Structure 1
Amino acid sequence: MDGTPLTSPLRKTVQHRTISAAVAAELRRRILDGEVPAGSQLRQDALATEFAVSRIPVREALMQLEAEGLVKIHPHRGAVVPELSLAEIEELFELRLLLEPRLLAASAPQLSDDDYARLDRILEEYSDELRARHVSRWGELNRAFHLLLYSRAEKPRTAGIVANLLQDCDRHTRLQLSLTGGMERAEAEHAELVHLCRAGRIDDACELLRAHIENVGRALRRFLEER
């Protein structure tokens, strides 16, 4: 080795990946926060100008968001934030009902004292953000709570699918909860889930989880039908 720095093409590749990750993170936040509503078109040239970058990292960012289900790239329209149909909502919650109780049943007996301490901190932060009406934090904390509950299941593929499902319906669920006052019920049910798991009442916790998912799905479907 002669100490020669990275070749220009490799350096550019690293830079593009770093920039594209930052662009993807900001666009992801805007979509999940509702700043970019469903049906919006994301134009590469406009985004490149806004972020003061070339179109390459923007294109890479949009491809990443498409893989996450947050945008759909059409041949002639470019990237569009998709609207979930009622049929898609049904499927998402059917899958959640199928997978999440199984993950909880496998994970809950293995949760450690440190896991419960982290769950308690999430619940406390969730309550603080609820009182402050910081809508942007609700989805993030909800996903963190559920995935931590399932983290000891040792079923990484299933957990990955569930993580995607939670993200897919996050925009709509957050909007529905904020407009219909469902956050307080979700807060209470989350606290009871932790209580039941901590007490070793795993079957009761799984039943509550099923009811929790069914309630959110039913409320979301009703909300979308009435919009």
Structure 2
Amino acid sequence: MTRKPAEPIYDILREKIISGDFVPGAPLRQDEIARNHGTSKIPVREALLKLEVDGFVTFRKNRGAIVRELSTAEILHLTDIRVALECRAIELAMPNMIEADFETAEHILEDYARQKQTASWSALNIQFHRTLYEPSGNAVLLQLIADIQQRIGPNLRQFVTEISGLERPHSEHRLILAACREGDVPAAVALLRDHILTTKKEIAARLRRHEESVS
């Protein structure tokens, strides 16, 4: 099936937003994008409109499109969704976990403890959680979790990592992994829920202080 001209442009722009090449608030100028892709502005506008529907782009009156910035409420709501999805994922995954899964998770935590950069912590955090959820075998659930991470974006994920620091998440990760090794599903789910909700509280407090400082 032949793809519409807007589709590859949509794919490229979406990937740049997800990867952080285009940061929140960055302008997306139709004429510049069209020139870079050797096309007219019509498919570019179609791609931007689809990105708006998917929540990646916002159109400002008389000012064009920008990369969408998440509000405080949206960030906290996405964290609530993480709780529901990830607790279900680990619940489904634990009966299928084997020693190789535990060893992979342990190696990630060892690497995590050695790193000094928050960007590395953020990437390893995602790897650790993904390792625990993959044995669920539920591809749809895993994609939903990945979609949440993409929606949050690398810049916000690093911001969250800076708020949480190293010690608290690392300690909680070890407790979660220990519960998984013991096959204690209720404990693992409870620990994971508390782990994510503690992060939510830290985010809410930091964003509240930020909003107060600029008001």
Name the TM tier (shorter chain). 0.7 to 0.9
Deviations 1:147-177 (A, max 9, x none): 2211122333222222222333343342133
CA distance in structure 2 between the aligned counterparts of 1:70 and 1:112, rounded to whole angstroms:
38
Which amino acid in 1 is paired with 2:159?
Answer: L
Deviation at 1:40, TM superposition (A): 2.4
Match of 1:89 in 2: 75
Match of 1:122 in 2: 108
Alpha-carbon spacing, 1:169–1:106, altered in 2? closer, same or farther (3 Å): same
Deviations 1:114-134 (A, max 9, x none): 222322232233333x32x15
Runs of 5+ consecutive residues of structure 2 not aligned to the other structure: 211-215
Structure 1 counterpart of 2:156, from 172, 175, 180? 172
Deviation at 1:190, TM superposition (A): 1.6
| TM-score, reference length from structure 2 | 0.75
CA distance in structure 2 between the aligned counterparts of 1:72 and 1:111, rounded to whole angstroms:
42
Match of 1:5 in 2: none
Deviation at 1:72, TM superposition (A): 3.6
Deviation at 1:112, TM superposition (A): 1.9
Match of 2:207 in 1: 224
| TM-score, reference length from structure 1 | 0.71
Which amino acid in 1 is paired with 2:132?
Answer: L
Deviation at 1:207, TM superposition (A): 0.9
Q: Is the 8 A contact 2:57 2:67 kept in 1?
A: yes
| Alignment length (residue pairs) | 207
Deviation at 1:76, TM superposition (A): 5.6
CA distance in structure 2 between the aligned counterparts of 1:147 and 1:68, rounded to whole angstroms:
24
Matched, 1:100 2:100: no
CA distance in structure 2 between the aligned counterparts of 1:61 and 1:191, rounded to whole angstroms:
43
Q: Is the 8 A contact 1:93 1:213 kept in 2?
A: yes
Runs of 5+ consecutive residues of structure 1 not aligned to the other structure: 1-9
Structure 1 counterpart of 2:38, from 15, 39, 54? 54
Which amino acid in 2 is paired with 1:42?
Answer: L
> 3-state DSSP class of the match of 1:210?
helix
Match of 1:28 in 2: 18
Deviation at 1:85, TM superposition (A): 1.9
> 3-state DSSP class of the match of 1:80?
strand
Match of 1:6 in 2: none
Deviation at 1:197, TM superposition (A): 0.5
The CA RMSD measured in Å over matched residues stands at: 3.4
Deviation at 1:206, TM superposition (A): 1.0
Structure 2 counterpart of 1:146, from 122, 125, 129? 129
| Greater Cα shift, 201-210 or 78-87 | 78-87
Structure 2 counterpart of 1:215, from 179, 198, 201? 198
Percent identity for Structure 1 against Structure 2: 31
CA distance in structure 1 between the aligned counterparts of 2:124 and 2:53, rounded to whole angstroms:
22
